[in-house]
Amino acid sequence: MSPAGFPALVLNADFRPLSYYPLSLWSWQEMKLPSVVSLKSFVKPTTQPAFTRFNVFLRDKFSCQYCGSREDLTFDHLLPRSRGGHTIWINVVAACSPCNLKKGNMTMDEAKMWPLQMPFQPSVNHLHRNGRRFPPNYLHESWLDYLYWDSELQP
């Protein structure tokens, strides 16, 4: 069996996962290890998330900000780059390919297409909250005591 088939959940020294999405997992090597490991020294989490395609999709909950589709995602510049728009948090939204093609090189007003949520620069906590909505495909039962314990409880 491949080492990647036996991931270990990695917790910071405060027993919280290093990240929620992607969940902080390390592959086991060819030796026996516990399914949960904790760092001895606290690793200070970043305060500003990296501006990546993945984080834009995570901020936008993996859905097109024009039609809500979750298929064939790309990203769209609200103010097209050809018109002086920049590739920054407040000018980029997740968009499906059909909506992106439909909007084309137009502004929102010209295309009569406005995002469901205007783009913003998210915090790390915001991305973690969104990440909890998209659990990984594999969750070992021994991890459950360490995951989602800081989530708001439902009445």
Tens-place pLDDT, residues 43-101: 787 778 889 898 899 999 999 999 999 999 999 999 999 999 999 999 999 999 999 99
The arithmetic mean of pLDDT across residues 94-111, rounded, is 96
Q: What are phi and psi of 81, to 5 degrees?
A: -60, -35
Identity (one letter) of the amino acid at 74? T
- The overall average pLDDT reported for the chain is 80
Q: Which pLDDT belongs to residue 107?
A: 95
**DSSP state, residue 17:** B
SS3 62: coil
Residue 91 and residue 137: Cα distance in Å, rounded?
A: 31
Q: Which pLDDT belongs to residue 42?
A: 83
| Contact residues for 132 (Cβ-Cβ < 8 A; gap 6+) | 20, 21, 148, 151
Residue 11 and residue 71: Cα distance in Å, rounded?
A: 32
Name the token pair of 129: 């909250």
**DSSP state, residue 128:** H
What is the H or E stretch that residue 26 is in?
strand 25-27
Q: Greatest CA separation found in the chain?
A: 60
The arithmetic mean of pLDDT across residues 14-19, rounded, is 75
pLDDT at 124 over 70: yes
Q: pLDDT grade, residue 25 (50/70/90)?
A: low
| Contact residues for 79 (Cβ-Cβ < 8 A; gap 6+) | 85, 91, 107
